[in-house]
Structure 1
Amino acid sequence: MSENKVDLIELLEYVDPAMLNYQEWVNVGMALKHEGYTVHDWDEWSQRDPGRYHDGEVEKKWNTFQGTNSPVTGATITQLAKDNGWHSHYSDDDNSFLDWGDSFIATDVDKGYKLVKTDWVMGKEIKEPTEQNWNPSNEVVKYLEALFAPGDIIGYVNDGYLHTKGETEKWLPKAGVYTKTAGEIIDGLRRYQGDIGAVMGDPNPNSGAWIRFNPLDGQGVKNDNVVDFRYALVESDNMDIAQQNEIIRELELPVVTLTYSGGKSLHAIVKVDAVNYPQYQERVDYLYKIVEKNGLRVDKQNKNPSRLTRLPGFIRGDKKQFLVDTNIGKASWEEWQEYIEDMNDNLPDPESLADLFETKIELAPELIGGVLRQGHKMLIAGPSKAGKSFSLMQLSIAIAEGRQWMGFNCTQGKVLYVNLELDEKSAKMRFIEIYNRLGQGHEHVSNIDVWNLRGKTSPMDKLAPKLIRRAQKENYIAVIIDPIYKVLTGDENSAHEMANFTNQFDKIATELGCAVIYCHHHSKGSQGGKNSMDRSSGSGVFARDPDAILDLIELPVTEDRYMALENEAICKVYYDAIQKYNPGYSDISLDDQFSKKQMQHHLMSAIHAQPILKEIEDQKIVAIESVRQATAWRLEGTLREFPKFKPVNAWFKYPIHILDESLQDIKLEEDPKENWRKGTKKSNESRAEKSKRELEEAFNVLSEDGGPVDVNQIADYLEIARNTVYTRTKKHNGFKIEGGYMSKNKQE
């Protein structure tokens, strides 16, 4: 072997055969044979998976490897080792120990982050339990309760096998158990009065015990079997235990459990709370860089989410594995990262524009032509009767089919419609009705996924990571959330709370690389005299946050216009009936087609059967009702990325919006309260008074004989979050909330 050639046997120390599938195991054997190693090398390594190892199988398989024109080489083993934390010792770059794909966060960390003066670390001693107070069962219970929920499936190993390499012997873990929940083990230990062997199997005091620090799916122990990327492991053995303890605490790491391994290191289980595997990689990059900068040379093979760590409550040789501490440092990853960033200037350097005109700038592709780019955010605002939900479903269809929506071209792709309001069957029926009314077919309806969450919603900060986790493999180009008041967190009139709320849309857009589209309701009153910044209810954050704001504003329709529509609808009913029942009738001129009187004359001339005429009369009545139910709307936009577009006018004729530019001559009604903008006196009603008035109005409308009203009904009526109802009630002395119901105070 040349001086600089990597020893593949050393690399295999980083690869656990129990975590590989059959083909990966075979590839390791083929690579070893191609690179000149022996069957004994493959056999010895394969024995580390006693659950699947069978004597003689390795040699039998080895003899089938005859070589090919495209052989499996040592690069396969090198990559497997890299995936499990190995790094080359021949690199001149001291930062080469990280190889997740060189995340940008980790690169930024190179600029500083030296928080601990390692030359002055004296050490903080740990206290080993005495024989009198050594309670192994309590150690296990306390550890599991700190890390896991009762229903979490965990993986643990309390037996090992002795691995010999030359004169070196090392105890390595066997396959272990990965189908029990934390709650089952805790209950069992209490039921059997701390008998660990009866609950977890008899331990091997020579090898100690291990546990996987993230919950599993019960199907295996690979990274793919991890169901929640909560924690990362920080382990270092390059300094004494007391110094490790001090540095971990000085760094304020968000440590859930700190365990003495029974060897040379402490094992710190650190909160990372990643929403998916890529974010886990970035956060572990960041974490490892920080601790490296501050003196802890971490063990790189532990960075995968399915790795094993030492489980307290067991004996390892002549040492105890015990819990040193729980819940130390910062309370969360976000708090710790903010602390780290506050301690260091990690802002990007100014960027020169010297090559501005030489380098082509690739903007995100347009999702809605001239309105919204992929990866950006759009808010549709309007009153409750504007048909916002129908419009969003119509938009979902336009994206799925690659058609126009409100006159704008849409890019075709997959879309996720998050349904927070309708029951599952009603939502499906609406899509069917809209598709049928559009009359353009449903060839690509499979591009639409609906996530039905009525009755199952949670606040947006809790919903966002769950949405990201489910959507990350689907390549959605748009996520539509309808309506947002169902998931509002905090008071919608609070700029700070609403900024935190809308930040969740940024997370979804960034993690999934898709557009996020959501709807919100207008404030009360006429919207004609307002600008888009003032139309949405609540804090102005709603207007400042999106990249595109589309406002649906109702148009005042005169009786003359409705009469004209009635005439048009009746003429169409008569014309369609003649074409159906007497297609040979050809006396209808173009002018006659638009005259109710003339079309009625043609109808009586063409059709004589009374049952058919009765049926046509019923159709006419339905057509007139449909006209009277229709409402007219103007769509205006405030855009960050594009110039302002000409207002779009449309009728909302259940269940779709139909463009009609003849409505463009209608002027919007102005809210009298907005006249002060033009020089008249401003309304004296304050925001608090308005809030109080609206609360009273909702209660009076919904209450029966002044009795209590469900808070959810109040929230739905006002189209605000449930929390906002509580906030408003606290500020209103006339009402109180008890047991989820709002009622009047007795003194009122």
Structure 2
Amino acid sequence: MEKEILLDALQHIDPRDLNYQDWYQIGMALKYEGFSASVWDEWSRQDASRYHSGECARKWESYQERTDKPVTGGTLIEMARRHGWSYQRAEGSFTWDSEFDFDDGTRPRRGIIDRNWLEGREIHEPKEWHPAQQLIEYLEALFQPDDYIGYCVESIKRDERYVPANKGCYTRTAGQIIEELKKYGDDLGKTLGDYDPCCGAWIRFNPLDGKGVRNDNVTDYRYALIEADNMSIDKQNEIVRKLELPIAALVYSGGKSVHAIVKIDASSYNEYRKRVDKLYQVCEENGLTLDKQNRNPSRLSRMPGVTRAGKKQFLIDKNIGQDTWNDWMEWYSEQNDDLPDFINIKERYRAGRPPLKPCVIDGLLRYGHKMLISGPSKAGKSFLQIELAIAIAEGREWLGMKCKQGRVLYVNFELDEDSCTNRIFDVYDAIGYPSDSTDAWSDNLEVWNLRGKSVAMDKLAPSLIRRARKTNPLAIILDPIYKVITGDENSAEQMALFCNQFDKVATEVGCSVIYCHHHSKGAQGGKKSMDRASGSGVFARDPDALLDLIELPMKDKQYDYMANKLACESVLHYLDGVHPAWRDDIGLDDRESKFQLLGWCDDHLTKEQAAEAHRIASRAEDDARHVTAWRVDCTLREFKKPEPRDIFFSWPIHKIDTEEYLKDIRPDVEINGKTFHQRDKSDGSRKAAKAEQERLAITNAYTLIATDKEPDDDGVVRVRLDDFVERAEEIFGKEMTKPGMRKKLKKFGDFDIDNGIVTPREDTDE
């Protein structure tokens, strides 16, 4: 943890506000983080009444670190936050206090009160002192007349403090006590028994069963006690009011604290404990260091209407804040949800249109937005993302789109470090930046290798944010996300929470976030691009830009084309080294013909050079058999949907099909678990093309209708002819009769029709 942050936090903690344990933990946290004992000693001098010269040094040397759970800087940060501290980076507007990733597992929580801005709210003793009336109002605010009340007026002195001498009385009801208070007036001794004015008296805030004073004797878990003495009375009073706590009674203790009796209204002891834990957590988030011993429902609190060492214990207020526990929880959630305020459009219009964020990728992705790349395995998604990382780092084009130059962080979850590094070098080589000539590179690309070290995204996000802020990247690329998914991939709720982590990274770091995900199983040609990603549809709906890759099944003519193309490129690259003047001799048409190029090599190169050119061309032809073709379909939130782009994946990079050689290829579709090849658009005459269009429409119609039906025992989904007729207008754009639909299915469809039942043909070409 950065030392300047810890020192800044330390200066916001007043040692005079701490008990011994907290003061000691501060010292141990400083030692763990590498400070000297003098830092602890100098800070401790602020508490002149308790400071002893040399004490810090002695404890520093005697401290034995716990290896299972050491006291780290996280403890110091948490204490500082309770005292109103937060940290702002000098060079930016990001608040660090929400994202520390502490080694001891402690994570700061957000409060709604900044102690730096507290002014305090004074409390005032009653102008006229009526002890009986004080206690009556307290009892009427908290209890029903038939509730048994526990109280104690006898005390003893122990360790320089006065404490209750015994369990006290617990067999009288609130109604009985109020009746006697009205009868005997301000002489409380006649009603309750005499108390020692040096130490006051106590009362229990939950009703009892009249048989004892243990937690088991509590009959209704209505209230909890909060008490803090780490700040002035006025500030305690201000905080509990600003927190809108549902307080039934607020009592001045006659000492260093106010006692707030908070409405809990729990139905059981288990629920009481959970609600009190939440109450104490919120109070500590907002600067109140509470006495943890007060959690018990049978605990004693200070009784109003008595005096204590010359000071009155009195009722400050009653029934303040929210009406009920549930009302308060809802209110506090609204205050602490970190959500923005509403925007009035009329006022915003008067102020002028806000400027849109600049593009990281022209026409595709804006600064601070999210992009998902989805596709099947072996589509080269990781290479595609590395190409994008390099394009941003170097300010180059990616898939024909210009990228803004800037820093980029590539987070690698899948490959070992050496493999990942070599893969990046391979891509640099292929795009024309030789890896052995790094002078041409920018220094914008950084890689974070997390193979074997990655954790769930909700745990990783704080560390990623903290580290990324140091370099201020334009984009962060996460590859692949299946390594960090939290929850069930098919649960919309859980995947929405998972995807929110990307929003958090984008917002807190101020960059674009790019990640990839895999397709579901099976051929994807019959699906929309948004429906192809595996798992919940949240994956496709959440990002601002979705790039989906679907494979195009190449045939011999496409492979022949690629073999010639790669052979020509390889031979020309070879000629750059052995015969740089080839451009003066070889025409543009001949440069695109392997036969013409090799013929030129035979005529103009040495025998050995020509043989090498033939070998290079042969290797390129072999490589062409491993080239795959892909169609990239974009779904965008900020921009107009572009036309799909066809690309080749020729290891290790993707190349755009500038000659539109792939445009007529159709991806495979899946029906009843079987893959079907679709004919190319260019095959046959116009009549054949129309027939193919009709056949595809019928195939898609069957897929749509069969989606909601269960297969028969043989695994085949059969549908009714009537289903086609009923949905004819939706599917074919016009109404159709049953005979007309039957004729269409027989003429263009690969289906059999028997007694009004439509079944896919078994002999369909697969």
1:663 aligns with 2:661: yes
1:563 aligns with 2:560: yes
1:452 offset after TM fit, Å? 0.8
Letter in 2 for 1:512: V
Letter in 1 for 2:702: T
Match of 1:385 among 378, 388, 404: 378
1:679 aligns with 2:701: yes
- Partner SS, residue 462 of structure 1: helix
Return the alpha-carbon distance in structure 2 between the equivalents of residues 406 and 179 of structure 1. Answer: 64
Return the alpha-carbon distance in structure 2 between the equivalents of residues 630 and 19 of structure 1. Answer: 53
Matching of residues 52-63 of structure 1 within 5 Å: none
Q: Could you say if the C-alpha distance between residues 286 and 251 of structure 1 is closer, same or farther in structure 2, counting changes exceeding 3 Å?
A: farther
1:409 aligns with 2:402: yes
- 1:654 corresponds in structure 2 to 651
1:406 offset after TM fit, Å? 0.8
Return the alpha-carbon distance in structure 2 between the equivalents of residues 187 and 587 of structure 1. Answer: 76
1:473 aligns with 2:470: yes
Letter in 2 for 1:290: L
Return the alpha-carbon distance in structure 1 between the equivalents of residues 61 and 222 of structure 2. Answer: 34
Matching of residues 685-724 of structure 1 within 5 Å: none
1:607 offset after TM fit, Å? 3.2
Return the alpha-carbon distance in structure 2 between the equivalents of residues 327 and 339 of structure 1. Answer: 25
* Contact 1:259–1:324 (8 Å) recurs in 2: no
Return the alpha-carbon distance in structure 1 between the equivalents of residues 521 and 361 of structure 2. Answer: 29
Letter in 2 for 1:390: F
Return the alpha-carbon distance in structure 2 between the equivalents of residues 449 and 288 of structure 1. Answer: 50
1:564 offset after TM fit, Å? 2.1
- Partner SS, residue 516 of structure 1: strand
Match of 2:344 among 345, 351, 357: 351
- Partner SS, residue 620 of structure 1: helix
1:561 offset after TM fit, Å? 1.7
* Contact 1:152–1:215 (8 Å) recurs in 2: no
* Contact 1:401–1:445 (8 Å) recurs in 2: yes
Matching of residues 168-317 of structure 1 within 5 Å: 170-171=49-50, 176=56, 184=64, 212=76, 214=78, 228=102, 230-231=107-108, 290=243
1:292 offset after TM fit, Å? 9.7
Return the alpha-carbon distance in structure 1 between the equivalents of residues 11 and 542 of structure 2. Answer: 39
1:543 aligns with 2:496: no
Q: Could you say if the C-alpha distance between residues 400 and 523 of structure 1 is closer, same or farther in structure 2, counting changes exceeding 3 Å?
A: same
Q: Could you say if the C-alpha distance between residues 174 and 554 of structure 1 is closer, same or farther in structure 2, counting changes exceeding 3 Å?
A: farther
Q: Could you say if the C-alpha distance between residues 465 and 20 of structure 1 is closer, same or farther in structure 2, counting changes exceeding 3 Å?
A: closer
1:637 offset after TM fit, Å? 0.5
- Partner SS, residue 680 of structure 1: helix
* Contact 2:121–2:234 (8 Å) recurs in 1: no
Return the alpha-carbon distance in structure 2 between the equivalents of residues 379 and 181 of structure 1. Answer: 54
Matching of residues 489-528 of structure 1 within 5 Å: 489-528=486-525
- 1:603 corresponds in structure 2 to 601
Match of 2:635 among 620, 634, 638: 638
Return the alpha-carbon distance in structure 1 between the equivalents of residues 414 and 549 of structure 2. Answer: 20
1:604 offset after TM fit, Å? 2.4
* Contact 2:433–2:441 (8 Å) recurs in 1: no
Match of 2:293 among 320, 324, 332: 324
Q: Deviations over 1:8-35 (max 9, x none)?
A: xxxxxxxxxx9999xxxxxxxxxxxxxx
1:623 offset after TM fit, Å? 0.8
Moved more, 339-348 or 442-451: 339-348
Match of 1:485 among 465, 476, 482: 482
Q: Deviations over 1:411-448 (max 9, x none)?
A: 11111111101111211111111112111576453211
Return the alpha-carbon distance in structure 2 between the equivalents of residues 417 and 161 of structure 1. Answer: 45
- Partner SS, residue 64 of structure 2: helix
- Partner SS, residue 446 of structure 1: coil
Q: Could you say if the C-alpha distance between residues 388 and 172 of structure 1 is closer, same or farther in structure 2, counting changes exceeding 3 Å?
A: same
Q: Could you say if the C-alpha distance between residues 187 and 238 of structure 1 is closer, same or farther in structure 2, counting changes exceeding 3 Å?
A: farther
1:448 aligns with 2:440: no
Letter in 1 for 2:64: E
1:391 offset after TM fit, Å? 0.8
Return the alpha-carbon distance in structure 1 between the equivalents of residues 425 and 296 of structure 2. Answer: 52
* Contact 1:292–1:298 (8 Å) recurs in 2: no
- Partner SS, residue 602 of structure 2: helix
- Partner SS, residue 243 of structure 2: helix
1:344 offset after TM fit, Å? 10
- 2:424 corresponds in structure 1 to 431
- Partner SS, residue 184 of structure 1: coil
Return the alpha-carbon distance in structure 1 between the equivalents of residues 349 and 565 of structure 2. Answer: 57
* Contact 1:163–1:171 (8 Å) recurs in 2: no
- Partner SS, residue 492 of structure 1: coil
Return the alpha-carbon distance in structure 2 between the equivalents of residues 370 and 615 of structure 1. Answer: 44
Matching of residues 362-401 of structure 1 within 5 Å: 362-401=355-394
Q: Deviations over 1:188-229 (max 9, x none)?
A: 99xxxxxxxxx9xxxxxxxxxxx846499xxxx997999747
* Contact 1:260–1:323 (8 Å) recurs in 2: no
TM-score by length of 2: 0.52
1:152 offset after TM fit, Å? 8.3
* Contact 1:157–1:174 (8 Å) recurs in 2: no
Q: RCO greater where, 1 or 2, for CA within 8 Å and sep 6 or more?
A: 1
| Structure 1 runs not aligned, ≥5 long | 1-17, 22-79, 87-135, 190-198, 200-210, 269-284, 300-306, 313-321, 329-335, 694-748
Instruction: State, as a whole percentage, how many aligned pairs show the same letter.
Output: 36
Q: Could you say if the C-alpha distance between residues 381 and 614 of structure 1 is closer, same or farther in structure 2, counting changes exceeding 3 Å?
A: same
Moved more, 647-656 or 485-494: 647-656
Greater Rg, structure 1 or structure 2? 2
- 1:272 corresponds in structure 2 to none
Q: Deviations over 1:55-80 (max 9, x none)?
A: xxxxxxxxxxxxxxxxxxxxxxxxx9
- 1:122 corresponds in structure 2 to none
1:184 offset after TM fit, Å? 3.5
Return the alpha-carbon distance in structure 2 between the equivalents of residues 583 and 563 of structure 1. Answer: 28
Letter in 1 for 2:612: E
- 1:626 corresponds in structure 2 to 623
Letter in 1 for 2:107: R
1:85 offset after TM fit, Å? 9.4
Q: Deviations over 1:308-340 (max 9, x none)?
A: x9999xxxxxxxxx7536899xxxxxxx98772
1:340 aligns with 2:332: yes
* Contact 1:368–1:410 (8 Å) recurs in 2: yes
How many residue pairs match? The answer is 488
Q: Could you say if the C-alpha distance between residues 488 and 614 of structure 1 is closer, same or farther in structure 2, counting changes exceeding 3 Å?
A: same
- 2:738 corresponds in structure 1 to none
TM-score by length of 1: 0.53
1:508 offset after TM fit, Å? 0.7
Return the alpha-carbon distance in structure 1 between the equivalents of residues 472 and 343 of structure 2. Answer: 33
Letter in 1 for 2:591: Q
Return the alpha-carbon distance in structure 1 between the equivalents of residues 243 and 379 of structure 2. Answer: 52
Letter in 2 for 1:324: Q
Q: Deviations over 1:499-520 (max 9, x none)?
A: 1111111111111111111000
Return the alpha-carbon distance in structure 2 between the equivalents of residues 411 and 514 of structure 1. Answer: 12
| Structure 2 runs not aligned, ≥5 long | 90-95, 124-199, 206-220, 259-284, 298-327, 673-696, 716-766
Return the alpha-carbon distance in structure 2 between the equivalents of residues 652 and 19 of structure 1. Answer: 48
- Partner SS, residue 480 of structure 1: strand
- 2:722 corresponds in structure 1 to none
- Partner SS, residue 498 of structure 1: helix
* Contact 1:630–1:653 (8 Å) recurs in 2: yes
* Contact 2:571–2:616 (8 Å) recurs in 1: no
* Contact 1:381–1:520 (8 Å) recurs in 2: yes
* Contact 2:553–2:668 (8 Å) recurs in 1: no
Q: Could you say if the C-alpha distance between residues 595 and 362 of structure 1 is closer, same or farther in structure 2, counting changes exceeding 3 Å?
A: closer
